[in-house]
């Protein structure tokens, strides 16, 4: 597909990288010469240094035959304006980054309808939702949901004292009777789709699929199930903190936010009256302890500086806070954070790239067994995709054991009439099912792509 991306900041670069890797024809537009030159050098794509809301610029980019126009500049209003113009000039689908909390669900729905916007993208809200899911399930370092929360994938980190270290998956299933599937394991930089003989080791990052109750049952057996975090301390008072605090407060949690910007604290106090807002430097260890770090169930670092988030999170971990989450944008720093012992790191641009990739695949194959949900897992090395099974899918009613799947592919779940099925070799795929597929080193645009 031909896709034009307006805005080459962190989010724009993440979108461009994802789309280029999937083989799309991508054109980048930004009014900053240095950003455009860097994109051109790294990705070898057509770039325009100009205003993305300008008629001539969009015409030069070929907007008339563009399949998708994505506006992810730093201005919500500019993104919406450029999408309006792009749509009028012929773009089939338009996506705008809209992150201001003032554009609430009701306003945004009206705006999308009026300007014919295909999708509104809010990276900060996506990050907040992910953190909220993790805090409900603190034993995991990541939680992804499928089929309207009827099915989940939890990632856990195996420690030296884990009872399953040294066990192969066959023995694991015999010992721990629950309806689950260990579907992917990351060991260092390597990712495995394990078979029954795979032996788990300390330090492995393990992906488990099941419905929520079965995952909790397994983690309880393993002795690592934790209660949902109730008292949460948040460092940084930006948009993510705002969205996350609203979710937590609505769920009955206690929230403390620390930020050094006084005007931001006053703003948060007005909009989050139930939260406890502290104006101070969160890098001050004495302040954190004084404001209740040691009694907190969870600590979340959400400042705009990766380095500060990492260092303060390490301090919180050293004080035995049960759950510590750090927002880290840079992939290099994310790897370093994990090596330093932070097992729960969230990366906004990775969530955005997955969201855009999912939508691009969905519209590219809207008539087939298209992608409904798509997640990047294990530091982006693995994809978990949820497909709707259409009537014309060519491999229905065939036992899974008889299907010839490509290498590094696993069918990890089937949702049939809202019932979650952990598939065995005798199970089959039927029309109307939702099928969850785990894929390493493979891009899946359609369910049929899993076959050799």
274 alpha carbon, distance to own chain's centre = 28
> Residues near 32 by Cβ (< 8 Å), separated by ≥ 6?
8, 49
Instruction: Find the mean pLDDT for residues 336-360.
Output: 84
374 - beta bridge partners?
Answer: 385
The whole-model pTM stands at 0.84
pLDDT band at 367 (very low <50, low <70, confident <90, very high): very low
**Crossing angle of the two packed helices 262-271 and 239-250, in degrees rounded to 10:** 30
**Domains in the chain: ranges and CATH:** 2-121 (3.40.50.720), 137-222 (3.30.70.1450), 231-346 (3.40.50.720), 360-450 (3.30.70.1450)
DSSP-derived secondary structure for 186-206 = EETTEEE---TTPBP-TT-EE
Residue 105 or residue 130, greater confidence: 130
When the pLDDT of each residue in the chain is averaged and rounded to a whole number, the result is 90
Q: What pLDDT digit, counting tens, does each position of 264-302 carry? A: 999 999 999 999 999 999 999 999 999 999 999 999 999
Q: What pLDDT digit, counting tens, does each position of 135-169 carry? A: 988 888 888 888 767 788 889 988 888 888 999 99
Per DSSP bridges, beta strands 68-71 and 93-97 are parallel
133 within 8 A of 143, measured Cβ to Cβ? yes
286 half-sphere exposure, CB direction, 13 A CA radius: 0
Instruction: Find the mean pLDDT for residues 240-256.
Output: 96
C-alpha span between 290 and 215 (Å, rounded): 36
**Crossing angle of the two packed helices 10-21 and 33-43, in degrees rounded to 10:** 20
C-alpha span between 83 and 152 (Å, rounded): 34
The rounded percent of the chain whose pLDDT value lies above 70 is 98
C-alpha span between 184 and 209 (Å, rounded): 9
Inter-residue long-range contacts of 261-270, CB under 8 Å, 24+ positions, other chains counted: 261/237, 264/237, 264/238, 265/237, 267/237, 268/237, 268/241, 268/242
Q: What pLDDT digit, counting tens, does each position of 255-264 carry? A: 999 999 999 9
Q: What pLDDT digit, counting tens, does each position of 177-203 carry? A: 778 999 999 998 899 999 999 999 998
């Amino acid at each position: 597909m031909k896709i034009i991306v307006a805005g080459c900041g962190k989010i724009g670069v993440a979108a461009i990288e994802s789309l280029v890797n999937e083989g799309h024809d991508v054109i980048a537009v930004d009014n900053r010469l240095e950003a455009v030159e860097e994109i051109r050098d790294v990705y070898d794509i057509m770039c325009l240094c100009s205003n993305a809301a300008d008629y001539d610029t969009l015409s030069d980019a070929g907007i008339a035959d563009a399949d998708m126009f994505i506006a992810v500049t730093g201005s919500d209003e500019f993104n919406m304006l450029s999408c309006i113009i792009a749509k009028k000039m012929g773009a089939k689908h338009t996506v705008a980054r809209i992150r201001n909390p003032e554009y609430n669900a009701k306003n945004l729905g009206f705006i999308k309808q009026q300007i014919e916007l295909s999708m509104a993208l809010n990276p900060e809200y996506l990050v907040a939702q992910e953190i909220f899911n993790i805090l409900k399930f603190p034993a995991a370092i990541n939680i992804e949901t499928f089929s309207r929360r009827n099915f989940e994938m939890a990632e856990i980190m195996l420690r030296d004292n884990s009872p399953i270290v040294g066990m192969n998956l066959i023995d694991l299933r015999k010992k721990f009777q629950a309806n689950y599937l260990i579907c992917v394991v990351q060991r260092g930089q390597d990712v495995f789709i394990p078979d029954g003989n795979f032996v788990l080791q300390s330090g492995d990052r393990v992906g488990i699929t099941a419905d929520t109750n079965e995952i909790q049952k397994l983690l309880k057996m393993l002795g690592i199930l934790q209660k949902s975090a109730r008292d949460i301390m948040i460092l940084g008072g930006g948009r993510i903190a705002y969205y996350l605090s609203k979710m937590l407060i609505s769920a009955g949690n206690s929230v403390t936010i620390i930020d050094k910007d006084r005007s931001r604290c006053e703003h948060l106090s007005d909009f989050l009256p139930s939260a406890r807002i502290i104006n101070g430097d969160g890098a001050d260890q004495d302040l954190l302890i004084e404001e209740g770090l040691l009694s907190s169930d969870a600590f979340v670092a959400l400042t705009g500086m990766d380095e500060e988030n990492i260092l303060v999170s390490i301090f919180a971990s050293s004080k035995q806070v049960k759950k510590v989450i750090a927002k880290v944008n840079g992939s290099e720093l994310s790897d370093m954070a994990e090596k330093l012992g932070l097992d729960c790191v969230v990366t906004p641009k990775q969530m955005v790239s997955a969201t855009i990739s999912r939508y691009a695949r969905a519209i590219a194959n809207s008539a087939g067994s298209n992608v409904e949900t798509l997640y990047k897992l294990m530091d982006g090395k693995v994809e978990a995709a949820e497909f709707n099974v259409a009537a014309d899918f060519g491999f229905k009613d065939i036992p899974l054991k008889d299907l010839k799947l490509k290498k590094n592919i696993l069918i990890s779940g089937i949702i049939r009439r809202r019932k979650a099925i952990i598939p065995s070799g005798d199970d089959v795929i039927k029309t109307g099912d939702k099928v969850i597929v785990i894929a390493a080193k493979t891009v899946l645009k359609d369910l049929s792509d899993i076959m050799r």
